[in-house]
Structure 1
Amino acid sequence: MEADRIKWNERFGAEGAFLGERPSPFLAREIERILRLAPGRRALDVACGEGRNSIFLARHGFRTSGLDISDVGIAKAERLAHAEALEIDFHQVDLENCRIAGQYDLIINFNFLLRSLIPEEVGALAPGGLLLFDTILESPQLLVTHNPDFFLRYGELERIFAVFNGEVLFSEEDREGEMPTARLLYRKAD
């Protein structure tokens, strides 16, 4: 969608990084478990934005690809990766019409919710592959000003992943603060 690309280009067009340069705290907290459990080192960062999580994964030895709708975000990510001599394969794509090619040992999906893409992500996991999901949870204050379709409902993330052949290794909902969040670590069956 052109409107989404424009919106994200405006956010990523500012000086500095929109979400900062450090990786997601959830990813940083889980990296040791990921390194221990992932069957290989191929990773996909869905809605990668300016590449902070892609870069973090590449630093930890993953052959990483990143997808995002924003050409401005992708350009920033490429510059940051190049500055560290990291080879990351970034692609500008409209995730609403995306089909994930290839197979990955780790897929991360942070700060983005497109329910119809979740089965595609699970399908792109290698046997024993991991999917780390972290996105915004509904809250009364957010629902006043935002489209409810872009927020997870309470308990929804676990219900979504319960139908797939694998196991949820970790799940939590943080309902406090200005930005409530749901997080999950899923492992596909071997």
Structure 2
Amino acid sequence: MNDDSTRWDERYRGEEFLLGTEPSRFLFERIEEVKRLCPGRRALDIACGEGRNSIFLARHGFSVTGLDISPVGLAKARDWARREGLDCDFRPVNLETYRIAETFDLIINFNFLLRDLIPQEVAALTPGGIILFDTILESPTAPVPHRKDFLLQPGELARLFAPYPGTILFCGEYPDSATPTAKLIYHHSK
């Protein structure tokens, strides 16, 4: 087991859910738009943790694959999905070495930044597919401890997606929030 897996296992070990059971606010606010735009209902949740966003997507008719490094977080997510009878496949992976081999209509990447994974995410989209991205932005109010390479720089998220054949439907930065974030919706060309 590597250090990241051990660290996240410890965070998820309690009976409570670390980030709660409600989905990301960004996902919650955009779900109807996402459902309208997505060409199908296969979704990938990058760094899914305990599954709060995967469960939310499954409740909205998506067949969800959730990837995470923490077996403890994934076990909680599997139990939750099983209790609700939802279509979720939770897989333990190290995203630093993982290669996305399937295609998806929707990919969500929340609270996680691995820049080298972005080209794989775009390549894994079906024509007309969507990426929702929401992660921490470097700012004086950014929560600590975070390594600088795991924080987006101002303006970086739009620059990362600009070269791809698609449209950035939304991009916003919130540097003064309690947790400063950058959010993006990318629509892959058909």
TM-score in terms of structure 1 length: 0.97
- 2:64 is the alignment partner of 1:64: yes
Aligned residue type for 1:187:
H
Aligned residue runs from structure 1 range 76-87, under 5 A: 76-87=76-87
Aligned residue type for 1:135:
T
Larger mean Cα displacement after TM superposition, 140-149 or 119-128: 140-149
- 2:107 is the alignment partner of 1:128: no
Q: Could you say what the CA RMSD is over the residues aligned between the two structures, in angstroms?
A: 1.2
TM-fit CA distance, 1:47: 0.3
Aligned residue runs from structure 1 range 150-189, under 5 A: 150-189=150-189
TM-fit CA distance, 1:144: 7.2
Q: Which residue pairs with 2:49 in the alignment?
A: 49
- Whether contact under 8 Å (2:141, 2:176) holds in the other structure is no
- In structure 1, how many angstroms separate the alpha carbons of the residues matched to 2:29 and 2:89? 24
Structure 1 residue runs of 4+, over 4 Å off?
none
- Whether contact under 8 Å (2:108, 2:131) holds in the other structure is yes
- Secondary structure of 1:169's counterpart equals strand
Aligned residue type for 2:9:
N
Identity over aligned pairs, percent: 58
Q: Which residue pairs with 2:101 in the alignment?
A: 101
Aligned residue type for 2:44:
L
More helix per residue: 1
Q: Which residue pairs with 1:36 in the alignment?
A: 36
- Whether contact under 8 Å (2:110, 2:133) holds in the other structure is yes
Q: Which residue pairs with 2:91 in the alignment?
A: 91
Q: Which residue pairs with 2:2 in the alignment?
A: 2
TM-fit CA distance, 1:140: 2.2
Aligned residue type for 2:163:
V
Unaligned runs of 5+ in 1: none
- In structure 2, how many angstroms separate the alpha carbons of the residues matched to 1:97 and 1:144? 25
- 2:147 is the alignment partner of 1:147: yes
- In structure 1, how many angstroms separate the alpha carbons of the residues matched to 2:138 and 2:160? 16
Distance 1:86 1:143, change over 3 A: closer
- Whether contact under 8 Å (2:105, 2:126) holds in the other structure is yes
- In structure 2, how many angstroms separate the alpha carbons of the residues matched to 1:106 and 1:145? 30
Unaligned runs of 5+ in 2: none
TM-fit CA distance, 1:141: 4.2
- Secondary structure of 2:153's counterpart equals coil
- In structure 1, how many angstroms separate the alpha carbons of the residues matched to 2:168 and 2:155? 13
TM-score in terms of structure 2 length: 0.97
- In structure 2, how many angstroms separate the alpha carbons of the residues matched to 1:151 and 1:49? 18
Q: Which residue pairs with 1:26 in the alignment?
A: 26
